[in-house]
């Protein structure tokens, strides 16, 4: 359990001291954010704010994970390395997108096909590798069964699993990306979800089927390969994002950019797949789903009827145009995300209690 504490504290410390150094570096190089001309007028003042801040919490998370291993003497697991690889891979795609925006001085970075290709390469690599590396009990990091709070139903096979994993990775990555429109919104929401996955990882470790001989009810155990290591990564992410939020909250001194949003969406999906909570993440990450659906509804309505449902999509900008201040929108959306996390954890515990 010391790993979890160390990873969270180290992640928090590194982003608190590292982010301002990154801000100075990016500002010196002129790597500032370009703002959409059709966005809320209040956002024009944010033009030029350093972006690509996701570099800070990506590096801090990786460093916190490995330093916690060195301090406690434990070795990294395949599950941990796969989740970190997914985060870094998606972050790299986002970094290229951000970099092109800055160099080309435009609000659009990578071409849609190039960006999709990058995400597909990273996603397929993760999905295929996650079905390898069985442990002594025969458990691979991922399962070819669908899951809610545990695996359920028939196996869908490796091919459909890869397709399903790709859908989840793309959906959640783009969901976090759409949410990252106001100062601190996506960062604060992510902190809440990673806190929940820290708890889930610890609970699954304590109730692991590997310890079935010592459990009061072996039928209520979890077949997850490396639950404690997933908790270590979730804790590192929670600490790193919390430290980054200090500089990202309104008025933001730095934006995470696609570098950060794609990485956060990717690693959140990785935690869900490897902890066997694939459908539960749609509830605990409910804010990301809600904001994504607002875009789908807006586009679908306009194409079908020529009318818009919201004043502007994503949803957070609709409320800005209604007169809500940016801070008010962010805090209320954090509350919505907190409720989603509470409901998700409640369902997770209820599922365990029902089996007891």
- Residues 266-294 pLDDT 10s: 999 999 999 999 999 999 999 999 999 99
Average pLDDT over residues 316-339: 95
Percent of the chain exceeding pLDDT 90 equals 78
Distances (CA, A) of 160 to 40, 124, 212, 334: 41, 12, 31, 34
Residues of the chain with pLDDT > 70, as a percent, come to 91
pLDDT digits (tens, 9 = 90+) for 91-110: 999 999 998 888 776 666 68
By the 10 Å C-beta count (0-12 exposed, 13-18 middle, 19+ buried), 141 is classed as buried
Rounded Cα distance, 259 and 264, in Å: 9
Least confident of 9-13, 139-143, 213-217, 351-355: 213-217
The structure's pTM equals: 0.93
Q: What digits encode the pLDDT tens for the residues 137-172?
A: 889 999 999 999 999 888 999 999 999 999 999 999
Instruction: Return the CA Rg of the chain.
Output: 20
Cβ distance 234 to 197 under 8 Å? yes
The torsion angles phi and psi of 201, rounded to 5 degrees, stand at: -60, -40
Q: Where on the phi/psi map is residue 180: left (φ > 0), alpha (ψ -120 to 50), or beta? A: beta
Least confident of 40-44, 72-76, 86-90: 40-44
């Amino acid at each position: 359990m010391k790993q979890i504490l160390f990873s969270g504290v180290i992640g928090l410390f590194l982003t608190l001291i590292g982010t301002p150094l990154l801000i100075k570096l990016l500002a010196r190089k002129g790597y500032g954010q370009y703002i959409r001309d059709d966005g809320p007028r209040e956002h024009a003042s944010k033009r030029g704010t350093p972006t690509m801040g996701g570099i800070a919490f990506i590096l801090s998370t990786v460093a916190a994970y490995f330093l916690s291993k060195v301090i406690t003497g434990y070795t990294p697991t395949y599950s941990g390395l796969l989740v970190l690889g997914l985060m870094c891979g998606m972050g790299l795609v986002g970094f290229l997108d951000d970099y092109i925006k800055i160099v080309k001085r435009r609000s659009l970075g990578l071409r849609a096909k190039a960006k999709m290709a990058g995400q597909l390469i990273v996603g397929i690599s993760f999905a295929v590798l996650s079905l390898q590396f069985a442990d002594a009990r025969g458990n691979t990091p991922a399962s070819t069964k669908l899951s809610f709070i545990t695996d359920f139903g028939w196996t869908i096979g490796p091919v459909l699993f890869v397709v399903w994993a790709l859908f989840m990775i793309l959906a959640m990555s783009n969901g976090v990306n759409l949410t990252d429109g106001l100062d601190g919104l996506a960062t604060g929401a992510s902190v809440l979800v990673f806190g929940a996955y820290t708890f889930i990882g610890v609970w699954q470790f304590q109730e692991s089927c590997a310890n079935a001989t010592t459990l009061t009810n072996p039928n209520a155990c979890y077949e997850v390969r490396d639950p404690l290591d997933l908790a270590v990564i979730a804790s590192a992410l929670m600490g790193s994002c919390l430290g980054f939020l200090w500089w990202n909250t309104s008025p933001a001194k730095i934006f995470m950019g696609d570098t950060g949003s794609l990485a956060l969406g990717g690693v959140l999906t990785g935690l869900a797949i490897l902890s066997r909570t694939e459908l539960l993440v749609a509830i605990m990450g409910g804010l990301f789903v809600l904001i994504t659906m607002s875009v789908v509804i807006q586009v679908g309505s306009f194409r079908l009827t020529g009318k818009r449902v919201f004043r502007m999509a994503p949803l957070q900008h609709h409320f800005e145009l209604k007169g809500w201040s940016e801070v008010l929108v962010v805090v209320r959306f954090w509350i919505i995300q907190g409720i989603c996390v509470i409901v998700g954890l409640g369902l997770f515990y209820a599922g365990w209690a029902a089996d007891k």
